[in-house]
Amino acid sequence: MNETTIVEINATEFDLSQYMGPVRDPLTTVIPMTIVYALILLTGVVGNVCTCVVIANNKYMHTATNYYLFSLAISDLLLLILGLPQELYLLWQKYPYVFGESVCILRGFTSEMSTNASILTITAFTVERYVAICHPLKAHTMSQLPRAIKSILIVWALGAICAIPVAWQFGIIYVPYSGRQLYDSAQCTVKQVIFKYGFEIATLVFFIIPITVISVLYVLIGVHLHRSSRQIRSGSKELSVSETNAGVDYQRHNSTSSAQHKQNASRRSVIKML
């Protein structure tokens, strides 16, 4: 046999726990974590499936906002269905990994793609809200629904493309023993490092930059809404003072009611969009 031969070996001949630790953590840890994971899986799948079904089956909900929510629900479902069951299995048996190298690579790909898509979707959604709130005239000149669909498709394409290099690094590794690789030591993990600073680049592109953009845009949205609110209040006061004494009460009532109506409508619109 050559050095890459994979063999099964009895635990009495070679104690893997000396090198890899126990196959399973204590039950006091595993059982509570299993319950938590199962609840997350159940509620997550049911909630996201319901979200997708409701949006898909109601035409009046086919809006740009709901399309972004639909995209987020899909990414969550992929992460839950393809990732969490394996995490549950690994709680009870850390090694050997029995699903094969293809599933291992697929696990890394779907996890990375779903995470990337979620982050980029939230960023695109925030940009959409910023344009709609701070530049409403520009937003009305563009068709929102086709633009949202294009943005979502681009988001998923970028998420998948950027996930490929990460997934390519995953694989099955074994503990070597007497020039052989032990089947019972199989683990799904990073097998080879393709990009030396891949993690740092991914953190910058898919965390630091998006969260910075999101934070800045929401601050700008808040400033815009605050200024709009002040302008409405000051405008209502000017209208009331400028009227004659005979019509002061009537004009104050009308202008205040109109201003309040505009302010409430604006707030309702923002709440609906956010």
> Is the domain of 243 the same as that of 142?
no
Whether the pLDDT of residue 189 is over 50: the answer is: yes
> Is the domain of 229 the same as that of 268?
yes
Q: What is the mean pLDDT of the chain?
A: 79
Question: How does pLDDT run across 45-64, given as a tens digit for each residue?
Answer: 999 999 999 999 998 888 88
Q: Residue 235 — pLDDT band, cuts 50, 70, 90?
A: low
More confident residue, 243 or 235: 235
> Is the domain of 90 the same as that of 169?
yes
Whether the pLDDT of residue 86 is over 70: the answer is: yes
Exposed (0-12), middle (13-18) or buried (19+): which is 190, by Cβ within 10 Å? middle
- Boundary-marking domain end, from 153, 179, 194: 194
First-to-last CA distance in the chain?
63
- Boundary-marking domain end, from 179, 194, 209: 194
Q: In this predicted structure, what is the pLDDT of residue 258?
A: 53
More confident residue, 194 or 12: 194
Q: Is residue 257 part of a domain?
A: yes
Whether the pLDDT of residue 203 is over 80: the answer is: yes
| Cβ proximity of 153 and 124 under 8 Å | no
Q: Residue 145 — pLDDT band, cuts 50, 70, 90?
A: confident
> Is the domain of 70 the same as that of 152?
yes
* Residue numbers of the domain that contains 57: 6-194
Of the listed ranges 49-58, 97-106, 154-163, the one predicted with least confidence:
97-106
> Is the domain of 139 the same as that of 212?
no
Q: In this predicted structure, what is the pLDDT of residue 196?
A: 78
Q: In this predicted structure, what is the pLDDT of residue 27?
A: 87
